[in-house]
Amino acid sequence: MDKKNTNIKFHFPAKNEKDLGNEHDEIASDYRGKIIHYVTELEDRMNAVIVEYFIKDNFTTRLEFEHVIITEERFSLSFKFGIISYLVKHPFKSFGESNTHFLTVLDSLIGMRNKYAHYGFINKSPRHHNTTPPLRLNKLSHTTRATKTDFVFLNEKDLKEFYGDCFAVKKCLKELWNLIVESNKKKE
């Protein structure tokens, strides 16, 4: 692969095709980790919104609710998305109307995170023209080995778009949290 045709900056100079493959895999792992990390930060913001809405006053109860319920494994990211979706469509409908793409973008980011978090990374991915690094992901299940293989191609442009979407969603979640805080003050 010609280095000038790629959108990535290599971490170290490749000496041969094997090193180039390892280099791509290293970058792909880095991208995968960043995607999971950034959506985990969004999940923390979602948690704050949910706790603020349901537990208004008692600090100790808020901590217990967050520790016992919100961080519970069965309280999935998809379930949290459902709660956020409800808040945006019902009690804070005006927020949803003024942020029309918020739920769509949040759902897309969660889907992307789930794909990278629940698929296993496998080395020796195929090359794709002008787009590196490829991630070869195998769908994992609890009872069997890999059940499905997908090839996902990412580059720096994709990652920058992803960061932009995360920033916009994070800003919306902060705005929603502020609206809930203000709403709670009015109810006092």
Contacts of residue 95, defined as CB under 8 A and 6 or more positions apart, other chains included, come to 88, 175, 176, 179
Number of domains in the chain: 1
Length of the chain: 188
Confidence band (pLDDT; 50, 70, 90) for 150? low
Q: Average pLDDT of 118-141?
A: 51
Asked which of 52-56, 77-81, 169-173, 181-185 is least confident by mean pLDDT, the reply is 52-56
CA distances 73 to 3, 47, 68, 171, 183, Å, are 43, 13, 10, 26, 29
Range of the domain at 139: 16-187
Distant-in-sequence, close-in-space partners of 147: CB < 8 Å, separation ≥ 6:
138, 139, 140, 141
User: Does residue 170 surpass a pLDDT of 60?
Assistant: yes
Q: Is residue 6 part of a domain?
A: no
Residue 123 falls inside a structural domain? yes
Q: Would 128 be classed as within a structural domain?
A: yes
The answer to whether position 122 is within a domain reads yes
Is residue 152 very low, low, confident or very high in pLDDT (cuts 50, 70, 90)?
low
Sheet holding 119-122, edge to edge: 119-122, 134-139, 148-153
Express each pLDDT in 28-46 by its tens digit.
Answer: 677 778 889 999 999 999 9
Across 117-141, average pLDDT: 52
Please report whether residue 5 resides in a domain.
Answer: no
Query: Any idea which residue has 């800003």 for tokens?
Result: 171
160 assigned to some structural domain: yes
Whether 32 is in a domain gets the answer: yes
Assigned domain for 112 exists: yes
Q: What residues contact 79, with CB distance under 8 A and at least 6 apart?
A: none
Q: Once rounded to an integer, what is the mean pLDDT over residues 132-160?
A: 57
> At 36, which amino acid appears?
I
Q: What is the pLDDT of residue 100?
A: 94
**Predicted structure pTM score:** 0.74
Mean pLDDT taken over the chain? 75
How would residue 58 be classed by pLDDT, with cut points 50, 70 and 90?
confident
Average pLDDT rounded to a whole number, residues 47-64: 84
Instruction: Please give the average per-residue pLDDT across 108-115, as a whole number.
Output: 88
